[in-house]
């Protein structure tokens, strides 16, 4: 994310916009395809309302599963 305006985007950005500055490398095609499939499967409308919230929920569920809450 380069700014809060990105959360309002209504489509997944092109693969070229995903760049890992810590590792100094582009996003692998396999990871981008996974993001694209999730976007399409869940009929997502915006990054904030759908993709970001889905990502956070998935993260919490995985943590809860790990700690067996």
The string of pLDDT tens digits covering residues 26-58 is: 999 999 999 899 999 999 888 888 888 888 888
Enumerate the domain spans of the chain. Answer: 28-69
Residue 49 pLDDT: 80
DSSP one-letter string for the chain: --SGGGGG-SSPPPGGG-EETTTTEEPPHHHHHHHHHHHHHTT---IIIIIIHHHHHHHHHHHHHHHT-
Mean pLDDT of the 3-21 span? 86
Cβ proximity of 6 and 52 under 8 Å: no
Residue 69 pLDDT: 58
Tokens linked to 26: 């582009």
Residue 1 CA to residue 7 CA, distance in Å, equals: 8
């Amino acid at each position: 994310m380069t700014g809060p305006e990105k959360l309002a985007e209504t489509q997944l950005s092109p693969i070229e916009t995903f760049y890992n500055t810590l590792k100094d490398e582009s996003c692998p095609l396999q990871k981008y395809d996974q993001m694209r499939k999730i976007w399409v499967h869940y009929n997502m409308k915006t990054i904030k309302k759908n993709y970001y919230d889905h990502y956070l929920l998935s993260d919490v569920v995985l943590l809860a599963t790990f700690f067996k809450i």
